[in-house]
Amino acid sequence: MTADRELAVRERAYALWRQEGCLEGRALDHWFRAEAEIAFDPPAQAPDGEAVAAASSVRKTAVRRALSRQPAKN
């Protein structure tokens, strides 16, 4: 992960933590959700087809992981 991407994920995870009322014990949940959201940001330059396919697979896995960790809504 590049330093810029890590900073973006860190900032988004912090924002998620604040949105949920600063609850402790959810750091990994917030981190994975932030990673999944950031993964959907389009790249600055269009990569080749193979890179796109690999990135798509990683994004799908990250989203599934993040969604499976979200608390159930009542």
* Full pLDDT tens readout for the chain, 74 residues: 688 889 999 999 999 999 999 989 989 999 999 999 988 765 555 455 555 555 556 666 666 676 666 555 54
Backbone angles phi, psi at 21, to 5 degrees: 90, 20
Instruction: At 16, list the tokens.
Output: 């998620």
